[in-house]
Amino acid sequence: MARDGEYDHLMPCFLQLAELAEDDPRRARLREKLVAAHLPLARNIAHRFSGRGESQEDLTQVALLGLVNAVDRFEPARGNDFLSFAVPTIMGEIRRYFRDTSWAMRVPRRLKELHLALGNARGQLSQRIGRAPTARELAEHLGLSLDEVYEGLEAGNAYHTTSLSEPAPDAGDDIVRADSIGEEDESFDFVEYRESVQPLIERLPERNRQILYLRFFRDMTQTQIAERIGVSQMHVSRLLAQTMQTLRDKLSSAD
């Protein structure tokens, strides 16, 4: 951490920055000078958070963002030194980063990277084709097998945990998740027999495949799916039920 008085010589720069008008061209130069002078501080703070599952490069970038925010928001007229304001600002930015991006359960780095790559690919393809891409389209885009795509999508389940005391989706505020998780869920069968059902899914109509993907791999509710693909919730429910029954029938006939 910084030594006492190490950055005191920069206080005149902060005072000058505070006096300049927003459109004064000297502001940008002063701001860059102050950020550059405090880079060792940001790197030092980022290093204190190493070994927690995030790359040092990412942590340093977040710390630099916190440093820039501190320089922009510091008010020398309040009589405080910059370090007493900058250190908690930078640390707060890093803690917020961990809160927003850390995985709820320990996941291998390969799966983390795979899940993030799928997220980026999904965004790119959605913009290009005007709808959510299928698992096969994601696989072709990234040069992966379907199994790798499914594995990466499922890894996202470890990204966040959800409190059982939160309201259950589509159930109103009076029913919490803990009250709604005891019912039979067709997704258990779907996951259990995924290896067997995968060839059958590939032969389904495009819309049916899309609904299965959104329901079981994006964990979207029927209402959310309906809004995404532009049909009624009842239509989604009917298609989902028909598709699951078709898959069950074909699995049974194959036994």
Tell me the pLDDT tens digit for each residue of 134-166. 888 888 999 988 778 877 776 665 554 444 445
Pick from 72, 73, 58: nearest CA to 113: 58
Mean pLDDT of the chain: 76
| Per-residue pLDDT tens digits for 207-225 | 888 888 888 777 778 888 8
Architecture of domain 103-161: Orthogonal Bundle (1.10)
- Whether the pTM exceeds 0.75: the reply is no
Task: Give domain 8-101's CATH number out of 3.40.50.1820, 1.20.120.1810, 2.60.120.380, 1.10.10.10.
Answer: 1.20.120.1810
For CATH 1.20.120.1810, the residue range(s) in the chain are 8-101
Residue 133 has pLDDT above 70, yes or no: yes
What does the DSSP 8-state code read for residue 176? B
Architecture of domain 170-255: Orthogonal Bundle (1.10)
For CATH 1.10.10.10, the residue range(s) in the chain are 103-161, 170-255
Please tell me the least confidently modeled range out of 71-85, 143-157, 165-179. Answer: 165-179
Q: At which residue do the structure tokens 């699995």 appear? A: 251
CA dist list (Å): 40 to 6, 34, 87: 11, 12, 12
Identity of the highest mean pLDDT range in 1-10, 40-49, 79-88:
40-49
Residue 247 has pLDDT above 70, yes or no: yes
Structure tokens at 29: 């130069």
